[in-house]
Chain A
Amino acid sequence: MSEPRPAGLRAVALAVAWRSVHNFLTNPAFLVPALVFPLFFFVSFAGGLSAISNVPGFDFPPGYTAFQFVFVLLQSAAFGGVFTGFGIARDFETGFARRYLLAASHRAGIVAGYALAALIRAFVTWTVLTTVALVAGMNVYGSGAEVFGLYGLAVCVNLGATMWAAGVAMRVRSIQGGPLMQFPVFLILFLAPVYVPLSLLSGWIHAVASVNPTTALLEAGRGFISGDPTVVVLAFGLAVTLPVLFALWARGGLRRAEAAG
């Protein structure tokens, strides 16, 4: 009798992703916050701050709802990745991740599976968020290709955040590492032009936002939705580079987890 062939990287990734997505979709404790929080931020920012569009110098033709939609989309992409990191940490705490490490012939497939799950989770959130935004009357002046570019940026942000959080989770291997995954992402997101364009910021926040990579992503995303693409090359350069760098960080985390047994 021949021995069963070990599963390849793709099979490992699909198996890990299926379990993560299944947990996400069947457990309201995971599903509800992932859907509610982005909607809540969108509603409170777009609804409560709409008067900001009357500030002298604020010029965004699609309106304040679209302006905030881009931020909330990228924020939900980033936090989707972070929440996946929480799941990885939980798997290590319960011992399930060790079983993954024992069973998987291609351990990189474990990380790939978590990343795939994070992306699927994000697509669920974006579908709901986009539907609500359109029903609320959001204007989209960009073409199909430009809107595709906006979601392409969000995919890269999701991937980058997942790799970051996975790297932390596999090093700490406890949910106590949650703040370490979450806080830097929160910091980098909110030290960007969240409420007004960069040109209307002043003082220290302008200085910080000017060198914050999130600013380029936001500006490009807002350019796409308004049909006036801007800093596209810089934004996609960052959007592709950051996941690659964080994938190396995640690979280091995987090595640490393997060494820890």
Chain B
Amino acid sequence: MSDGLRTQIGQLARRSVLRTLRQPAQIVPALIFPLFLLAVNSGGLKGATNLPGFPTDSYLTFALAVPFMQGALFSVMNAGTDLARDIETGFLNRLALTPLRGAALLSGLLAGAVVLGLLQAVTYLLVGLTAGAELAAGAAGGVVLIVLSVTVTVAFGTIGLFAALRTGSGEAVQSLFPVFFVFLFLSSMALPLELLQTQWFHDIASANPVSYLLQAFRSLLIEGWDLGELALGFGIAAAILAVGMLAASRALKTRLVRT
């Protein structure tokens, strides 16, 4: 990486991180809302651990994977809304007049998502463990879990960037939120895949990549080290990241041509 590119990324990353940290409205819901649902679901669905084949006797441990995914969904909104605001206020137009490279812009904008993802992952893990969840993979597993969480958060953040560049509207990015919640709800969020009895729901959840991301998180929490589950989880996150970055890069080119 050239010095120029490094400087460009550094400047935009600093701006992105500061902007994220200065907006409690972005951070607080992303921390509180998933933890509230974790508390409610782990209390309400505790009885599910009595089902034959349920992988653990602690529903809290099973459900702790979900906040990591919900946090990633928030990053779609946060990364996308920030960029959309830059488009709406004309900041992107001003950047277009500088020799800034597209890769620097996109990478820099994702720095805020990385910081928020890290903050979320550490908070969810600490709260979960304090509440009594298990971490079968131990301390090293905790580190891998945080790395996976940040990777997934950044991967989903690229989708937010793509949406912002395509639409140029913060409102349109916000309207994507329910769409991503559909992916979460139609997954193995509440029960393991093998315990989903309704056939059509099982089929959809089996085809939904979110189910496998959840399984990767759960493997560290419940089973210990399952390299197959982890490889699948990281692989899916990397694929979303690659596709998201490619789509965002193309949308950026189109957006800059328009301006």
Question: In whole angstroms, how far apart are the Cα atoms of A48 and B48 in the complex?
Answer: 12
| Majority DSSP secondary structure for residues of A touching B | helix
Chain B positions near chain A (C-beta within 8 angstroms):
36-37, 39-41, 43-48, 50-51, 178, 182, 185-186, 189-191, 195-198, 200-201, 205
Is B51 within 8 A of A49, CB to CB? no
A36 to B182 CA separation, bound complex (whole angstroms): 11
Partner of A49, one of B40, B178, B190: B190
The answer, yes or no, to whether A123 is at the interface (CB within 8 Å) is no
**Chain A: CB-nearest residue to B189:** A48
Measured CA separation A39–B190 after assembly (Å): 18
CB proximity to B under 8 Å, residues A144-193: 187, 190-191, 193
- A47 contacts B by Cβ under 8 Å: yes
Q: For the complex, is A57 an interface residue (Cβ under 8 Å from B)?
A: yes
Task: Give the contacting residue for A47; candidates B36, B48, B200; CB below 8 A.
Answer: B200
Further 4 A-B residue pairs, CB within 8 A, beyond A43-B201, A200-B47, A205-B40: A37-B178, A44-B186, A44-B201, A55-B47
**With A47-B201, A48-B186, A191-B40 in contact, is A203–B46 under 8 Å at CB?**
yes
B180 → A minimal CB distance (Å): 12
Q: Which residues of A contact B51 (CB under 8 A)?
A: 51-52, 54-55
Grouping DSSP codes into helix (H, G, I), strand (E, B) and loop, the B interface class, with mixed when no group exceeds half, is helix
Instruction: Using A40-B185, A204-B43 as known contacts, say yes or no to A48 and B191 having CB atoms under 8 A apart.
Output: yes
CB A34 to nearest CB in B, in angstroms, measures 12
- Min Cβ gap B34→A in Å is 13
Query: B44 is contacted by which of A44, A50, A201 (Cβ under 8 Å)?
Result: A201
Q: Within A210-254, which residues are at the interface with B (CB < 8 Å)?
A: none
Min distance, Cβ B42 to any Cβ of chain A, angstroms: 8
- Residues in A neighbouring B200, C-beta threshold 8 A: 47
The answer to whether B44 and A202 have CB atoms under 8 Å apart is no
B44: chain A residues within 8 A (beta carbon): 193-196, 201, 205
8 Å CB contact of A51 from B39, B186, B197: B197
Contact present for A44 and B197 (CB under 8 Å): no
Contact B45 A52 (CB under 8 A): yes
Give the nearest-CB partner of A189 in chain B: B40
A52–B185 touching, CB < 8 Å: no
B185 & A55 in contact (Cβ 8 Å cutoff)? no
Q: In the bound complex, how far is the Cα of B178 from the Cα of A169, in angstroms?
A: 24
A 22-45 binary contact with B (CB < 8 Å = 1; else 0): 000000000001001100110110
In the complex, chain B residues whose CB is within 8 Å of the CB of A261: none
Alpha-carbon gap, A36 to B178, bound state (A): 10
Contacts of A200 in B (CB 8 A): 47
Of the candidates B39, B190, B205, the one having the most CB atoms from chain A within 10 angstroms of its own CB is B190
Given contacts A33-B178, A205-B40, contact A48 B198 (CB under 8 A): yes
9 closest pairs, A vs B, by CB?
Answer: A205-B43, A47-B201, A44-B185, A55-B47, A47-B198, A195-B44, A200-B47, A51-B197, A50-B197
For residue A63, give the distance in angstroms from its CB to the closest CB of chain B. Answer: 11
Q: Which residues of B are found within 8 Å of A40, using beta-carbon distances?
A: 182, 185
CB closest chain-B residue, reference A202: B46
| Structural contact, B46 and A48, CB atoms closer than 8 A | no
A201 to B41, CA, bound (A): 11
Q: Which residues of A contact B195 (CB under 8 A)?
A: 51
Whether A49 contacts B186 by the Cβ 8 Å rule is no
Q: Which residues of A are found within 8 Å of B190, using beta-carbon distances?
A: 48-49
The one of B39, B45, B46, B198 in contact with A50, judged by C-beta atoms closer than 8 angstroms, is B198
Distance in angstroms from A46 CB to nearest chain B CB is 8
A58 at the interface (CB under 8 A from B): yes
Query: Is A4 in the interface zone, CB < 8 Å from B?
Result: no
- Shortest Cβ distance from B194 into chain A, in angstroms? 10
Contact B191–A49 (Cβ < 8 Å): yes
**B47: which A residues are within 8 A, CB to CB?**
52, 55-58, 196, 200
Q: How far is the CA of A216 from the CA of B48 in the complex (A)?
A: 23
**Residue picked from B39, B46, B51, B191, most chain A C-beta under 10 Å:** B46
- Given the complex of chains A and B, what is the CA–CA distance between A19 and B214 in angstroms? 45
Q: Are A48 and B40 in contact (CB under 8 A)?
A: no
The residue of chain B having its C-beta at the shortest distance from the C-beta of A196 within the complex is: B47
